[in-house]
Amino acid sequence: MAYNLRIPRRTLLKGVGAAGLGTVLASGKIRPLYAASVAPITIVINQSPWFESFRKTVELYEEETGNTVELDVNPFAGSLEKQRNSVRGSKGQYDLLIMNSGWFAEMYFGGFVEPITDIDPSFKLDPEIYTLGDTVFYDPEKRAMTPSGKLMSMPIAPLIPLLYFRGDLYREKGLKEPELFSELEANAKALHNPPEIYGIVQRGARGPHTVAYDFYPYLYGHGGGIFRDQLAGDYAVILNNPEGKQALDYYIRLAREAGHPKTAASDQAEVIQAMVTGKAGHIMMVIAAWSQMDDPNKSIVVDKVELAPPPHVPGVPSSPGLGHWLGGVAKNIPDDRKRATVEFLRWFQTRDAQIALAKFGGIPVHAGAYADPMAEERQYRWMKPLAKALETSVNIYQFPEASEVIAVLELGLNQAIAGEIPSDQALDSMAAQIQTIMAGHGYKTGGI
């Protein structure tokens, strides 16, 4: 059930008469107050593992500026529904839309978000902000996410998968952190001792965006893909090329020879549970799950799990698929609320705000946060591998009908992993269906 969470206004420096001149941070630095006395804003957002860190960061913004923010917090599907309804009204209810990678293209293509630099031409994106496959930009003429377009949004949560592995078992067996898929396979087999422990536990269940999302690092890390060149408007389907078959065969072989016997039925909860209960040597999992690894109330492998960028084949970069969140300003709201929303984004993108976000348990979008001394601390050991992986992360979809393609992948991949159909048959069938979908929407498409 959706609910409203009102973040109370607080004063950080009670009794300081010169507060209007600047804000004293915990670090002892002085930073100018960010546009105090702007209109209150409302942010529509989903309830998720990273929400608490975002909430605390919003609270800090209120403390530093005196500005007021209301958070409208909903389940995943509820947030999307509210955004769709609000942007299509004569006057929007929500100012900042927290958009998932699965639907931000819909908001761009539909003209529902206002370019940030149209609201404030002086706004500059911090050069150290991760642009996440350039998905913060959109060029309506090219119908593509490209820096040649306008700045449409601000990264909020840069969620990608990383390889989680048991560092204590690696040390016991003298194993090396895997960079290549061949090394991951060898290491998974070395740790595989069922039913006590499985070398790797993978997600294979069919869902709204389940097995497909977990397959992307394997597909793109083998040099494959779904489309030939989305940025150029070429939607020829290449899923069933040799690289795609190599990737799917590898995924299936890993599951059968070093994985869980019920991979085809395993969803995210089962994969995470296997790791925190000591039943998995490796998992490929979104970074948002990291906090559970060192939580003594949930995990028996506290301080034993390490992370690395997803492996790849020689000559191909690590290629984690983006499952990120962006913040866009609704077009159908009054100008004063647009300007107030931009002021929040101006503050949110700063290095200090992003370091605070990380200390609250969030995932920063500013490269400077990953270079902070905190990244050397044991509890933040995820920061360096994540920063490295973000550099080569992949935006899988650049069109608003992505959900139709994902549905095809979910069924076909699940069937192949379950052994119901051969991998080549699954790939050919999925490719043909995707080609039909793209042609039906008027995209330039074809096959290999």
DSSP state of 149: S
Cα(138)–Cα(381) distance, integer angstroms: 34
Beta strands 96-100 and 325-330: pairing type?
antiparallel
Nearest CA to 83 among 325, 378, 379, 346?
A: 325
User: Is residue 25 scored above 90 in pLDDT?
Assistant: no
For residues 150 and 264, state if they share a domain.
Answer: no
For residues 234 and 364, state if they share a domain.
Answer: no
Q: Please, which pLDDT band fits residue 34 given cuts at 50, 70 and 90? A: low
Residue 388 lies in a domain: no
For residues 237 and 304, state if they share a domain.
Answer: yes
Residue 386 lies in a domain: no
pLDDT of residue 37: 76
Q: Is this structure's pTM higher than 0.85?
A: yes
User: Cβ of 444: how many Cβ atoms within 10 Å?
Assistant: 12
Residue 390 lies in a domain: no
User: ∠ CA 101-91-156 to the nearest 5 degrees?
Assistant: 25
For residues 278 and 349, state if they share a domain.
Answer: no
Instruction: Give the Å distances, CA to CA, from 135 to 33, 34, 181, 227, 265.
Output: 29, 26, 28, 17, 32
Cα(337)–Cα(305) distance, integer angstroms: 44
Bridge partners of 41, per DSSP, are 69
pLDDT digits (tens, 9 = 90+) for 312-371: 999 999 999 999 999 999 999 999 999 999 999 999 999 999 999 999 999 999 999 999
pLDDT digits (tens, 9 = 90+) for 132-185: 999 999 999 988 999 999 999 999 999 999 999 999 999 999 999 999 999 999
Q: Higher-confidence residue: 208 or 23?
A: 208
- Domain of 370, in residue numbers: 3-159+322-381
For residues 143 and 168, state if they share a domain.
Answer: no
Beta strands in 268-406 (DSSP E): 282-286, 305-308, 325-330
Q: Higher-confidence residue: 259 or 6?
A: 259
Mean pLDDT of the residues in the chain? 92
The residue from 334, 350, 381 where one domain ends is 381
The pLDDT of 52-64, averaged and rounded, is: 97
Beta strands in 127-286 (DSSP E): 137-138, 150-151, 153-157, 161-166, 227-229, 234-237, 282-286
The residue from 353, 381, 409 where one domain ends is 381
Q: Please report, rounded to a whole number, the percentage of residues in the chain having pLDDT higher than 90.
A: 90
pLDDT digits (tens, 9 = 90+) for 368-411: 999 999 999 999 999 999 999 999 999 999 999 999 999 999 99
pLDDT of residue 12: 30
277 in helix, strand or coil? Answer: coil
Beta strands 325-330 and 113-114: pairing type?
antiparallel
pLDDT of residue 49: 85
pLDDT of residue 35: 58
The backbone torsions φ and ψ at residue 339, rounded to the nearest 5 degrees and listed phi first, read: -65, -40
Q: Please, which pLDDT band fits residue 36 given cuts at 50, 70 and 90? A: low
Instruction: Give the Å distances, CA to CA, from 287 to 151, 163, 295.
Output: 26, 9, 15
Q: Please, which pLDDT band fits residue 6 given cuts at 50, 70 and 90? A: very low
The backbone torsions φ and ψ at residue 413, rounded to the nearest 5 degrees and listed phi first, read: -65, -40
The alpha carbon dihedral of 308, 57, 123, 371 has a sign of negative
- Give the total number of structural domains in the chain: 2
> How many residues are listed for the chain in this entry?
448
Query: 409 with 218: CB under 8 angstroms?
Result: no
pLDDT digits (tens, 9 = 90+) for 104-136: 999 999 999 999 999 999 999 999 999 999 999
The pLDDT of 92-96, averaged and rounded, is: 98
- The domain spanning residue 172 has which CATH number? 3.40.190.10
For residues 112 and 221, state if they share a domain.
Answer: no
Residue 389 lies in a domain: no
Q: Is the peptide bond before 195 cis (omega within 30 degrees of 0)?
A: yes
Query: 79 with 45: CB under 8 angstroms?
Result: yes
CA 301 to chain centre: 25
For residues 362 and 271, state if they share a domain.
Answer: no
Residue 387 lies in a domain: no
pLDDT of residue 183: 99
The residue from 333, 356, 381 where one domain ends is 381
pLDDT of residue 76: 87
Residue 277 lies in a domain: yes
